[in-house]
Structures are given as C-alpha cells and as structure tokens.
Amino acid sequence: MQSNVRIHPSILNADHSKILSEIERVSKVSDFLHLDILDGKFAPNTSFSWEQAQHIISGSPIPVDAHLMVVDSDTQGPRYAEAGCKSVTVHVESTVDLKETIRNIKSNGARASLALKPATQIEKYIDFLNDVDMFLIMTVEPGFGGQSFMPEMMDKVSKTRDLIGNRPIWLQVDGGISKDTIQIARAAGADTFVAGSAVYKAEDPAEMMKLLRSLAEGTQPES
C-alpha cells in the first residue's frame, strides 16, 4: 500500500488456532504483518515457537515484520531474515553486537530495525542512524498486548524524528495504539504504527485498520 503512513497489525492477540485466517482478515488493508516473538526471558511472556513462526512467515500474504523480544538477538535476528521476514527488529537491550547483527539481517534481504524499551534513551544510538531502516519506540513495556499507551514516550518519538531528519528511516511505535492514541503518536512524528488489541478485538478488524489509517493520515476527523 502506497502511503506515508504504515499500519502493521500485530497478531499477538489474534486467535492462534486459525492464525492464517486471522491474517487474511486484514491482509488487504495492511502494509506489513507484525510478528511478536517472545521467549519468556527478555520479557515475561511467550508467543510463537520457531515452527509456528515459520508457518506464519511462509503462509502470510503480506510481508512480515518480526519484532524479536528475545535474549539472543544476535543469532535470532539473521535467522528470521533468512526465514523470509522482510523486516526484522531487534532490541538494543538484548543485542551484543548491533552493527554486525544489522549487517547480517540485511545480508539476508530484510530491513533492519532497532527497538527501544521505554527506559532506553535514543541518544545512545545515534551512531546507527546510517545503518538502520527503522527505529521502534515502545509505548508500553514489552511482553503483553492490551497495555495502556504511554503518552510520556512522545518526547522520545519527537527526539527520534529530529535525529532521523531527512533520512529514509521509518519511525514505528508499538503499544496501546488505538483510534484514541494514533493521532497523538502521529503528531509526535511516528509514521509506522503497530496495532494489536485495537484491531483484533474490534467487531470488524479490517474496518478498524481502515479507520486507524485514515486517522493517522488526517483524513478522518476524531469523533
């Protein structure tokens, strides 16, 4: 989909028993699929096994954006790129060699992204501005869907936007994104939005995706 705004539905809170059908419900109104991988160590939750992830990656009709909340990002990042993800996000807090991991992800044909937990400062990672394709600013603590949006993270989003400048780097936010918060994040400078609970708890997930996009693009007045 061609737009300056991208919406990535997260399937963390979708029905895992029919996961490909759940993806299909939103595939025509989505840019990427957001695949949360939790190992229960980096954050206190687990999500999809490697085998389940491979099933999703190979079966998804839209490109997959893997968000790795794991302790061994240096190994897992390139592994998910090699498996066919078009974008792989690793956390700065769990990656030993960021430069090498970014290179290894890109060498397998994927976009490379760095994610920051709420307490992590963006200023520490300005040296990677010419290496990454996207920064992900977490607007909740990693681990669980359905958490409340943290508006205090908007200062960090704005700082990151300023640091990006004219570079072709996407700025993603993840956590608590809904019809009530997406315009707040957009105003702060985000252009790529992960929406999970808001989408899959809606009566019509595809229509909610359309609403979120129109709000972020400024084509739908707040009601």
> How many domains does the structure of the chain reveal?
1
Say if 222 falls within a structural domain.
no
Say if 1 falls within a structural domain.
no
Structure tokens at 34: 């957001």
Say if 30 falls within a structural domain.
yes
CATH of the domain at 203: 3.20.20.70
Percent of the chain with pLDDT over 90: 91
Residue 173 sits at φ, ψ, to 5 deg, of -120, 145
How confident is the prediction for the chain on average, in pLDDT?
95
Structure tokens at 139: 């607007």
Confidence at 1, pLDDT banded by 50, 70, 90: very low
Query: Is position 174 annotated as part of the catalytic site?
Result: yes
pTM check: above 0.85? yes
Say if 11 falls within a structural domain.
yes
The reported pLDDT for the residue numbered 220 is 60
Say if 96 falls within a structural domain.
yes
Q: Distance of CA 129 to CAs 11, 136, 185, 198, Å?
A: 29, 13, 21, 31
Q: Which domain holds residue 17?
A: 6-217
Say if 36 falls within a structural domain.
yes
Say if 223 falls within a structural domain.
no
pLDDT in tens, 159-210: 999 999 999 999 999 999 999 999 999 999 999 999 999 999 999 999 999 9
Cβ burial, residue 69 (10 Å; 0-12/13-18/19+): buried
pLDDT in tens, 81-118: 999 999 999 999 999 999 999 999 999 999 999 999 99
Task: Give the torsion through C-alpha atoms of 124, 187, 182, 172, to 10 deg.
Answer: -30
Say if 87 falls within a structural domain.
yes
Query: Is position 204 annotated as part of the catalytic site?
Result: no
Separation of alpha carbons 150 and 116, rounded Å: 14
Cβ burial, residue 223 (10 Å; 0-12/13-18/19+): exposed
Q: Closest Cα to residue 200, out of 1, 12, 7?
A: 12
Give the active site residue among 31, 65, 133, 174.
174
Give the active site residue among 36, 65, 133, 191.
36
